[in-house]
């Protein structure tokens, strides 16, 4: 086979571009994470999945303030997630509660759940969440309120993204704080 010396640089460039595109999963991944649902089991045991019409509420005095956040995502690839809280149904101005990155070998990839606790000691309002790997983050939610009064209703927001942060989805659930 005879390849012209003049065509070799062009062939090399095309070959290298094809290898890089293939190695990076193509121009767009066919397995971008798809967020199917985001749910909360509140401190009284009400579950937004089993009773979507129920009022979801958190009380520091009920069940030791313990509640669960869980979700279902379709992907076989890595993904990242952030759980945020806001006084409105928007990522803008929200406060991060927890973030993590899950690859297919992590327990968080299959166990898509956070065990959380709401604490109100009179001065500080806190949410503490722990994932299946025992990573824990504490968030002072007093920062959401412009004054000393926390709004009665807040929104938990879950955002999931592909590993590069290009393809993201979010869902939110309104929660009454007592």
User: What's the pLDDT tens digit per position in 51-78?
Assistant: 878 889 999 999 999 999 999 888 888 8
8-state DSSP, 169? E
With CA atoms as reference, report the closest residue to 117 among 55, 152, 66: 66
pLDDT at 28 > cutoff 90: no
Q: How confident is the model over 128-141, as a mean pLDDT?
A: 77
Dist CA 133 CA 158 (whole Å): 19
Quick check: 84 and 157 in contact, CB under 8 A?
yes
Could you tell me the pLDDT band of residue 20, with boundaries at 50, 70 and 90? very low
pLDDT at 47 > cutoff 90: yes
**Averaged confidence pLDDT in the chain:** 79
Dist CA 53 CA 96 (whole Å): 26
Q: Enter the pTM of the model.
A: 0.77
| End-to-end CA gap in the chain | 79
- Determine if residue 165 is left, alpha or beta; phi over 0 gives left, psi from -120 to 50 gives alpha, anything else beta: left
More confident residue, 149 or 164: 164
Burial of residue 87 (CB within 10 Å: 0-12, 13-18, 19+) is: middle
Host H or E run for residue 113: strand 113-120
Quick check: 126 and 138 in contact, CB under 8 A?
yes
Q: How confident is the model over 124-153, as a mean pLDDT?
A: 72
Domains of the chain, earliest start first? 30-177 (2.60.40)
């Amino acid at each position: 086979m005879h390849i012209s010396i003049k065509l070799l640089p062009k062939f090399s460039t095309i070959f290298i571009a094809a290898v890089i595109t293939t190695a990076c999963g193509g121009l767009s991944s066919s397995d971008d994470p798809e967020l199917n649902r985001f749910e909360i089991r509140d401190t009284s045991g009400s579950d937004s999945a089993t009773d979507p019409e129920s009022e979801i509420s958190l009380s520091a005095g009920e069940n030791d303030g313990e509640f669960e956040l869980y979700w279902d995502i379709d992907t076989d690839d890595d993904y990242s997630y952030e759980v945020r809280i806001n006084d409105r149904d928007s990522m803008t101005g929200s406060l991060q509660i927890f973030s993590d990155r899950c690859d297919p070998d992590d327990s968080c990839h299959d166990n898509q759940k956070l065990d959380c606790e709401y604490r109100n000691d009179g001065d500080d309002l806190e949410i503490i969440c722990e994932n299946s790997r025992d990573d824990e983050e504490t968030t002072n939610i007093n920062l959401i309120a412009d004054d000393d009064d926390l709004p009665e209703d807040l929104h938990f927001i879950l955002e999931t993204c592909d590993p590069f942060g290009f393809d993201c989805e979010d869902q939110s659930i309104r929660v009454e704080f007592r």
